[in-house]
Amino acid sequence: MLKMAKIMNMPKIGVNMTDGTITEWYVNEGDKVKFGEMALAAETDKDVQDIPADQSGIVLKIIAQAGDNVECHKPLAIVGNAGENIDHLMAEISGQPEPPSTAPQVAEKRVDTAGAKESIVQKNESGRIPVSPLAKKMAKDLGIDLAAVNYQGIRIVKADILAYQDLKKEEAPEVSNEMLPVSINGNVVSYSGMRKKIGSRMTESVNTKPWAALTMAVDMTETVNWRKRVNEMAQLKVGFNEMLAKACSRALIEFPKINAQLAADGNEIYELNDINIGIAVDTDSGLMVPVLKNVERKGVIELAEDFKGLVERTKARENISGDLSGGTFTISNLGGRGVSNFRAVINPPECAILAVAATIKTAVVVADEIVIRPMMNITLSFDHRMVDGDYAAQFLGFIKNLLEEPMKILM
């Protein structure tokens, strides 16, 4: 058992994780937990992850409930010995001083929220209003001034925000029918969970990255023939994604500025040694990006084995640690959907992403003659802060050359 109670915080799983939404607690208050035992599940920007207890003891208090969004390193629960006093930890979490043994008279009259027209709010010694992360976010989204919200506990929580919102609805004048929005003839789908997290990451990418895009047409004749020969000899069939990943790894070795990430403060660029290529996969939960690790060290057969396992685990939402993190470059292949050309949104914090379109039989001119060839468009979206257009064009041209002469991939 612990010598004294401790706060269990939301861990940071992967370099890009900033928060997690609790989907389920596996333990209740009063339950005994052991170090490393799975205590709850939380949905991150990548997937639903099981969160282990970081200490052994009794769950004395669950701070964040199912549905709450919790920032990394913020409190989830308090674990300690049975019957242990945790007032000092609750005060630490709320930002208030530890309550004295004998409560003094409160100078200001507290007004019950349900019937209040004006709220009186207590502040801590620093002058800040104690509020949970979820309640703070809700107040910001709803445009609610926290100073106007009355609360009964040690800090403002979700229920206080909802109560204040209900109170304001009661006070609001009745809206005439002419002001009501037109009813929706269809389904209303909640914009939440994985869909919302994907949207947030894509919005972040588009709003923060000054990106540009370049497109080249690739004659896939030799790659199509080479893949056919490989699959006639190999037990496990090799797909185009694995061949694309291998070609990209060769290009990233030659053009290391693209296998890079920009520091959060924008003052440094990290050129990475390992080449970890994410390949976008469509699932029932939305777009996921499982990551092939150390692609430069593996052959296409080994990559095919790795990718098969990654896709199976991702679609079943049974990913193991590292499956969906650590990427340095991403491929988005919509060729199977018949898309002839598109630009993909960069997967932050990476520098670039390759959009791969369908291979379509097209009339082209070869040696002054019109011939039919299987042509495929590839489009590179890149962060213009990190690389210039000419460098990006050379990188894309290198990939084009490898796909048109695939034996070079093995050299």
Q: Is 73 an active-site residue?
A: no
Query: What does the block give as tokens for 250?
Result: 């060769």
Which residue among the candidates 166, 265, 388, 390 is catalytic per the annotation?
388
Rg (CA), the chain: 27
* Contact predicate 305/293, CB 8 Å: no
Which residue among the candidates 87, 274, 282, 384 is catalytic per the annotation?
384
Q: Is 388 an active-site residue?
A: yes
Token look-up 């190999």 returns 234
Residues classed as catalytic: 384, 388
